[in-house]
Amino acid sequence: MKVTLAVRKKDRLFQQAIIKRDEWCIFCGNTQGICAHHVISRRYGKSRHDIKNGVTLCMQCHQSIGINKIVKEMSIVLYFISLKYFENVIEWEKYVQWVKLG
């Protein structure tokens, strides 16, 4: 997906919506320096601006993910937090397939 001004505007709206919904880092509870994180990579354009694919993380937790310092427990938390926006695990898995294969 080409990152145009329109995409960047949608990125900002996505971030604002996720932060407004969650209000704090879903992993550590921090309320300072929080940002939106894509559970499924935003490189898959279909889910880039889908709020079901976003969670709020503080900058420290987000950076831990970005430099592959993520611990197993954190990935599990992200997975189950994301599931709360879906009816069940099967729906989540179908969503992931739709995004990746789409």
The C-alpha atoms of residue 36 and residue 96 are separated, in whole angstroms, by 18
Domain ranges of the chain: 5-101
Q: Which of 45, 40, 32 is nearest to 83 (CA)?
A: 40
pLDDT in tens, 28-82: 889 999 999 888 788 877 888 988 888 899 998 888 876 655 555 566 566 666 6
Higher pLDDT, 36 or 92: 36
- Tokens 């969503």 correspond to what residue? 95
CA distances from 64 to 25, 34, 51, 58 (A): 13, 13, 22, 10
Which helix (H) or strand (E) segment is 38 a member of? strand 34-38
> What pLDDT does residue 15 have?
94
Q: pLDDT band at residue 13, thresholds of 50, 70 and 90?
A: very high
> What pLDDT does residue 59 have?
92
Which helix (H) or strand (E) segment is 36 a member of? strand 34-38
DSSP character for 58? E
